[in-house]
Chain A
Amino acid sequence: MNVMITGASGGLGRALANECGRRGYNLFLTDIDARGLKSIQRGVERQFNVTVTTAACDLTSDESVDELVRSIDSLGIRFDMLLNVAGVDYEGGFLERSGRDIVRIISLNNEATLRITHALLNRRREGLPFYLLFTSSLASMYPMPLKATYAASKRFLLDLAVALREELRDKRVNVLALCPGGLATTREAMRGIAAQGFWGSATTNPLEVVSRKTIDRLEARGGIYIPGALNRVLTFFGKLLPRRWVAAAIYRRWQKAQEHWKPAELSAEKL
């Protein structure tokens, strides 16, 4: 099994790399952070007996992705799985962020994901099933004030996953949208979870469980995976209420959390 992971040096990317290594899959890891890539490559190779290849790439740039694709083609690699993890959020309200940062959320979370997904689907192994993961978010379930662009970008990935799953079913492609709540991936993320108090901890999903179940679900059938019973219940009731009410409730909650936690400390937090 050959697996590509984007955003591989971030918290979720590393956990998924470990999970795949544990299962004996060979890995092709990419991220914009070249040093981080080397670290996770070393870590996975030392822990598991698998082949790990890395290539630093800025997925928001056509040229950089073309180069990545050329190096894949020169190695003649065919893939069985693509885990789209690379994504970004800039904390702070819409007007507190720079216009560039806001546009960059869409450039990476959506455009870049399409770019690499299209390239990899065309380089899947002939005649075998292909597994395609999109990392959406619990934020995709509702409009989210103070995270408006991020939530909308994740909604895009959710809808894309559901639609592609039907479209590519005949071609034996399993598509999964992963919609986690909080994940304790970095010190800042842990601080953010602590700042939200009870609801922060309650909606946070254990990273190692999410990683394992994500790969299980992806291989079994695809679909939408919302980790955590509470998150599933909240999502269910959220759908029954008018979207405007839900948005208003979320706005109040985030405002309160931000009083305890200065999001200025957070820039370009990788999710």
Chain B
Amino acid sequence: MKYAVITGASSGIGLAASVELAQKGYAVIGVGRDEARCEQAALQIRAAAPDANIRFLCADLMQQREVARVAHEITEILLQEHEGKLDALINNAGCVRSWYTTTEEGYEQQFALNHLAGFLLTWFLLSQLGRAGGRVLMTGSESHKQFRMRWHDVMFSRGYNPLAAYKQSKLSNILFARGLNDRYQKDGVRAYVVDPGLVCTEIGCKNTGGLVNWIWNMRKKHGAQPEVPAGTYGYLCETEPAPEELYYYRCKPNRYSKQVTRENADRLFALSERLCGVEYPSAIVTEKEKTI
């Protein structure tokens, strides 16, 4: 049995991807913020895949100490049940904020959750991924195109705009995947970004209010159901040999921004390492357990 970790698994695309992988026989470790929603999601997954090995861990991944805690819990589980191996990590948790808001570290919340949380969780689970030759998937968005990183102010403390901050966080996802491939493809770990297309989820309505809420309510009606992009997650986790491209829409490679260069990816890596207080190794070490 293969093991997958999926963040933001209690609703929307994360939930649909969990169902997909559970049906394919994966043991799924879901991460969600709200305990009641997690329980509800576990029931839904079991209804769709009766023999599913599914459990949920609760964490607010926007906060770095929560990422660290949940990473330790995952490490424990994998050590006990799967020889410390992780086959797939799906960094899917994301948010939209109408206003400039910060985490406990004072980081802008969309950047902190949509990019930094996945960056840090992947760092914690790197050896586990290395042991399994695992895959790292990010949930991207078509909206990353026509946007450049605001290197001078990635936290948008000047001229905050919800959509621009969202686009930047989604461009960061692709740069991060590119950076991972540049570093660890040689160690058998591959990273991908899934472009889900427009999907009818609640992302624009959670704690937003005002204009963002209204626009998203209009827009999501035209979106596909979350089950539609879920197939792409299954495809990218399962296909052997590993798919070669970086960015996939409905199981097919798709075009992505020209901003995704090695230089930008390295720059984002260096910045994110500083903001998370960690350093990615030059090669994956699979022998000993990593400590903070």
Binary B-proximity of A194-234 (CB < 8 A = 1, otherwise 0)? 10000011001011100110000000000000000000000
Instruction: Identify A39's interface contact among B105, B156, B209, CB under 8 A.
Output: B105
Cα-based distance from A225 to B65 in the complex (angstroms): 36
Whole-angstrom distance between the Cβ of B43 and the nearest chain A Cβ: 25
Cα-based distance from A193 to B100 in the complex (angstroms): 14
Check A43/B101 contact, CB under 8 A, given A19-B157, A208-B158. Answer: no
Instruction: Identify A207's interface contact among B63, B100, B207, CB under 8 A.
Output: B100
B154 closest partner in A (C-beta): A47
Interface presence of A184 (CB below 8 A) = yes
B64 closest partner in A (C-beta): A39
Measured between beta carbons, the chain B residues less than 8 angstroms from A9 are 104
Measured between beta carbons, the chain A residues less than 8 angstroms from B155 are 18, 47
A201 closest partner in B (C-beta): B210
Binary A-proximity of B204-228 (CB < 8 A = 1, otherwise 0)? 0001111101000000000000000
Question: Is the pair A190, B101 in contact by a Cβ cutoff of 8 Å?
Answer: yes
Instruction: Identify A47's interface contact among B63, B160, B208, B275, CB under 8 A.
Output: B275
Interface presence of A92 (CB below 8 A) = no
Cα-based distance from A207 to B213 in the complex (angstroms): 19
Binary A-proximity of B104-139 (CB < 8 A = 1, otherwise 0)? 111100000000000000000000000000000000
Cα-based distance from A15 to B105 in the complex (angstroms): 10
Cα-based distance from A19 to B252 in the complex (angstroms): 44
B99 closest partner in A (C-beta): A184
Question: Is the pair B277, A191 in contact by a Cβ cutoff of 8 Å?
Answer: no
Residue pairs across A and B with CB atoms within 8 Å: the count is 87
Question: Is the pair A190, B106 in contact by a Cβ cutoff of 8 Å?
Answer: no
Measured between beta carbons, the chain B residues less than 8 angstroms from A43 are 103-107, 275
Measured between beta carbons, the chain A residues less than 8 angstroms from B211 are 201
Measured between beta carbons, the chain B residues less than 8 angstroms from A22 are 157
Check A36/B104 contact, CB under 8 A, given A19-B157, A42-B277. Answer: yes
Whole-angstrom distance between the Cβ of B140 and the nearest chain A Cβ: 25
Cα-based distance from A39 to B156 in the complex (angstroms): 19
A44 closest partner in B (C-beta): B106
Cα-based distance from A43 to B275 in the complex (angstroms): 7
Check A206/B100 contact, CB under 8 A, given A19-B157, A212-B158. Answer: yes
Question: Is the pair B157, A18 in contact by a Cβ cutoff of 8 Å?
Answer: yes
Question: Is the pair A206, B106 in contact by a Cβ cutoff of 8 Å?
Answer: no
Check A200/B100 contact, CB under 8 A, given A40-B105, A46-B275. Answer: no
Question: Is the pair B160, A194 in contact by a Cβ cutoff of 8 Å?
Answer: no
Question: Is the pair B106, A47 in contact by a Cβ cutoff of 8 Å?
Answer: yes
Interface presence of B173 (CB below 8 A) = no
Interface presence of A176 (CB below 8 A) = no
Cα-based distance from A185 to B213 in the complex (angstroms): 18
A186 closest partner in B (C-beta): B101
Check A204/B106 contact, CB under 8 A, given A18-B157, A42-B277, A194-B209. Answer: no
Interface presence of B274 (CB below 8 A) = yes
Of A35, A36, A206, the most chain B CB neighbours within 10 A belong to A206
Cα-based distance from A35 to B66 in the complex (angstroms): 13
Interface residues in A117-133 by Cβ distance below 8 A to B read: none
Cα-based distance from A11 to B210 in the complex (angstroms): 20
Measured between beta carbons, the chain B residues less than 8 angstroms from A212 are 157-158
Provide a sorted-by-A list of 10 A–B residue pairs whose CB atoms are within 8 angstroms: A22-B157, A39-B65, A184-B98, A184-B99, A190-B207, A190-B209, A200-B210, A206-B99, A208-B160, A212-B157
- B interface vs A, CB < 8 Å? 63-65, 97-107, 155-158, 160, 207-211, 213, 274-275, 277
